[in-house]
Amino acid sequence: MKFAEHGANVAFTYVSDSSAERATVLEEKLKGFGVKAKAYKSNAGDVQQCETFVNDVLKEFGSVDICVNNAGISKDNLLLRMTPEQWNDVINVNLNSVFYMTKQVIRPMMKAKSGTIINMSSVIGMMGNAGQASYAASKAGIIGFTKSIAKELGSRNIRCNAIAPGFVETDMTSYLNDNAGAEKYLADIPLNRFAKAEDIANVTLFLASDMSSYITGQTISACGD
């Protein structure tokens, strides 16, 4: 919504059939800004689906100028109880997806000698958190990946940055609303509130725009601290 509001054409993905109706509604809302918008059913954790998705977007939109890697899940558990399946699921969706998508979008970006990639990390990837070893590892990996890609592609005028949000009011963190631990988390945030999706969208928009044309390889913490 934030990107469409500022005139960007938007291609976005959803994973499950249960999200199809919601995706269609969002597609129409985006078009209301006078831009081109399309929803694609695609799993960012599947390398073949990523390739198909990017090829379809290129056919429909003609170019990929901005890529926001925002797929993410958490399957929290203490390490002693964490199963290999839980670990692999989180690493695949959170980290492998960034590799799969970036590998596909840099081809047209290199041809155009222009582009920007924004990867959604987390403050948990910077500081760690008990019970979130897999999530922290995946988000820390994104930061290292971002710095490396920025060095690889800077000479092609392609920028790559990361954002490290704190707690954001989304479906993923809705459990905090009924959790006494929410007060503890809030006590550690100087701004004394969780982020709203728009707070993170604003940082993403900045990194996608020419206002950040001399910023690459960086991780911006958006955590109210």
The more confident residue out of 187 and 203 is 203
Q: In this predicted model, what pLDDT tens digit does every residue of 126-141 receive, in sequence order?
A: 999 999 999 999 999 9
Name the residue among 116, 139, 117, 145 with its Cα closest to residue 126: 139
Contact between 150 and 217 under an 8 Å Cβ cutoff? The reply is yes
Question: Which percentage of the chain shows pLDDT scores above 90?
Answer: 83
Pick the CATH number of 65-222 from 3.40.50.720, 1.10.357.10, 3.10.350.10, 3.20.20.70: 3.40.50.720
Confidence band of 181 (pLDDT split at 50, 70, 90): low
CB-based contacts of 149, cutoff 8 Å, min separation 6: 102, 106, 117, 160
User: Is 135 a residue of the active site?
Assistant: yes
pLDDT of residue 185 exceeding 90, the answer is: no
Active-site option among 14, 40, 100, 135 = 135
Burial per residue of 115-150, b for 16 or more beta-carbon CB atoms within 10 angstroms, e otherwise: bbbbbbbbbbbeeeeeebbbbbbbbbbbbebbbebb
Confidence band of 224 (pLDDT split at 50, 70, 90): confident
Measure the CA–CA gap between 93 and 141, rounded to whole angstroms: 12
Confidence band of 116 (pLDDT split at 50, 70, 90): very high
> What is the end-to-end Cα distance of the chain in Å, rounded?
26
